[in-house]
Structure 1
């Protein structure tokens, strides 16, 4: 886990800005990436910056093979419905099979009781 990840996870955006000013790089070979934490926090500005300016891969997987979309699914439904389309707009795979190779994003949303997201995610996957 990196300082970037922890600052984002605990919503300390002033620390994130300080790390960027000190030229820290948000992409790392550690277990979890800063993009995962930014997606978990719904931090749109940071998501855009990490992908565009630092070329962090939008579908980067953590040590457990979770993508930033999986982290975004943990947000409140309204926030998730704003963050996930942003990740899709940068090329996140809409029809991904994740975790142990048998879960779609819609399956994960269903297991979390996110029925509105399920319908939308199924539609997105079918359109890809």
Structure 2
């Protein structure tokens, strides 16, 4: 069973700037299955991943994937070191994005050279 965090500052749509995001919708689902919303993370400012550094213990590090509207290469690399797949997408509907990810059909957006 996968746990997938989706960046969503408004808890309704996928939002950009993954490294600065402090609000995430957390879904659970199996590959090819239907995702279920299981949690909402509303983290304090110091837990934005951009500022977290390389410390252990961030709740996002417990996910199998993070889906976001935009992110930088450093963000992708930082999460990859923790075994988390970071995927930027143009999809704005969180549940559809997670469903597509679980089916291996999520459309990817360009990852930026800068961190965000």
When normalised by structure 2's length, the TM-score is: 0.31
Q: Hey, which of these two has a bigger chunk of helix by percent?
A: 1
Higher-Rg member (1/2): 1
When normalised by structure 1's length, the TM-score is: 0.29
Q: Hey, which of these two has a bigger chunk of strand by percent?
A: 2
